[in-house]
Amino acid sequence: MKILVCISCVPDTTSKINFKDNDRVFDEQGIQFVINPNDEFGLTRAIWFKEKIGATVDVLHVGEASADPTLRKALAIGADKAIRIDTPATDAFVVSDQISNYIQTNPYELIIAGRESIDYNGSMVPGMVAAKCDLAFVNTCVRLEIEGSTASATREMDGGMEVLRVKLPLIIGSQKGLVEETDLRIPNMRGIMQARQKPLAVVPATESSSKTAINSFEKPAPKEAVKMVPADDIGQLIDLLQNEAKVL
């Protein structure tokens, strides 16, 4: 089985978010970039498939050379090959165009992309790729079993779960649940050494233009100070929720 995992590089979850150039540009100063957590859950499941049932795992990133160390990390934890499509990831439309064009000439049985990136929170790319390549798609996938050319995928819905049966090729939107937090791998020295020998192909972008553009960023208005209620006066809390906040 050939598996492709699409990877986005995002600020580490503990990052403080700041902007520069009149709030038009995200300030990368001091930011540690990591594999998007939702992609990492998918990558870890892909490596599980590789070890348990045999598969090749490629990782693909649409973006600039600053992402190469993150791709090397994906290689160090077990991916076979990395591909970087060399163009700025201006919006979801461009990213999904690039991924779609790539997989149309380099087909895979299973394509994995995080259900959303934790930077721009778009949740758009996997569905767009599905439509552009006419692939079956299961989003918010928390369980995936593959037998022959058929997959059984569990989707987390609002307030429930459903199991879907689909024919490969398939694209899933991965998230926590697909593997556990404790299954995530930290690159070891052997993996890091091997990663240096593995291919990282930089391929030129295909023609595509964005359909959205960010003009400016803003931060939420500062919060008012918390009102503390004494632990022995619960009535006061109920009164505040009822009459001041009006949420009861």
Partner 1 sequence: MSILLFAESQQGKLKKGSAELCSYGFALAQQQNTSLTIVTINCEETDQLAQYGASKLINLNVNVGYFEAYAYASALSEITKTEKSEIIVISSSADAKYMGGILAGKLQAGYVTNVVELPSKSEPLTVKRSVFSNKAFANTTLEGAANIIGLANNVHEETIQSASTVVQQQDAQTQIKCTQTSIEQSQGKATIADADVVVSGGRGLKGPENWGLIEDLADVLGAATACSKPVSDMGWRPHSEHVGQTGKPVATNLYIAVGISGAIQHLAGVNASKIKVVINTDPEAPFFKAADYGIVGDAFEVLPKLIEKLKART
Binders of partner 1 among residues 94 to 153 (CB under 8 A) are: 96, 115-116, 118-132, 135-140, 142, 152-153
Burial 146-163 (b: 16+ CB within 10 A, else e): beeeebebbbbeeeeeee
**How near is the Cβ of 201 to partner 1 at its closest, in Å?**
25
Work out how close the CB of 210 gets to partner 1 at its nearest, in angstroms, rounded to a whole number.
7
- Give the C-alpha separation, 34 to 173, whole Å: 18
User: Nearer Cβ to partner 1, position 17 or 53?
Assistant: 17
3-state secondary structure of 131: helix
* Size of residue set near partner 1 by CB under 8 A: 83
Q: Does 227 bind partner 1 (CB under 8 A)?
A: yes
Chain position carrying tokens 């259900």: 115
* Interacting span for partner 1 (CB under 8 A) from 64-72, 76-84, 175-183, 198-206: 175-183
- What residues between 61 and 90 interact with partner 1 by CB under 8 A? none
For residue 127, the number of C-alpha atoms closer than 13 Å in the C-beta half-sphere is 7
Question: x/- binding map, residues 5-24, to partner 1, per CB under 8 A?
Answer: ------x-xx--x-x-----
**How many other CB atoms are found less than 10 A from the CB of residue 92?**
21
Alpha-carbon span 127 to 18, nearest angstrom:
30
